[in-house]
Structure 1
Amino acid sequence: MSQFTVSGQFQSRDGYSSFETSIEAPNENVARDHVLSNIGSQHGLKRTQIEISEVTAE
């Protein structure tokens, strides 16, 4: 499995908050899916409220 760094922003009470997280996944699509799931569950957001701007492999 590869290490991916995913960055973007999500809607919060004060506008938008930025995030950057590293995740281990077999490919870029799985990494995106896991990040959407994790941030959505932590902050009570739907996937449409989260914008991923960049996914890079390390």
Structure 2
Amino acid sequence: MSQFAVSGRFQDRTGHRDFEKTIDAPNENVARERTFTQLGSEHGLKRTQIDISEVSAA
């Protein structure tokens, strides 16, 4: 599996918060999906509250 650096921002109680995560995934689309699931689980967010701006190979 490859590593991908995923960055963007999500809606928080106080506004928006930036994030950057390193995700192990076979391709870029799976890295996006795993980011949605992880942030949603950790912060109780829906996909519409998460804005992924960039996915690049790490």
Query: Would you call these one fold, judging by a TM-score over 0.5?
Result: yes
Q: Which sections of structure 1, spanning at least 5 residues, go unmatched?
A: none
TM-score, with length taken from structure 2: 0.97
Give the CA RMSD over aligned residues: 0.5
Counterpart in 2 of 1:25?
25
Counterpart in 1 of 2:53?
53
Deviations 1:3-55 (A, max 9, x none): 10000000001100000000110000000000000001110010010000000
- Alignment of 1:39 with 2:35, yes or no, is no
Provide the C-alpha distance between the structure 1 equivalents of 2:3 and 2:41, rounded to a whole number of angstroms.
22
Question: What fraction of aligned residue pairs are identical, expressed as a percent?
Answer: 64
3-state DSSP class of the match of 1:45? coil
Q: Which sections of structure 2, spanning at least 5 residues, go unmatched?
A: none
Which segments of structure 1 move beyond 6 Å, counting only runs of 4 or more?
none
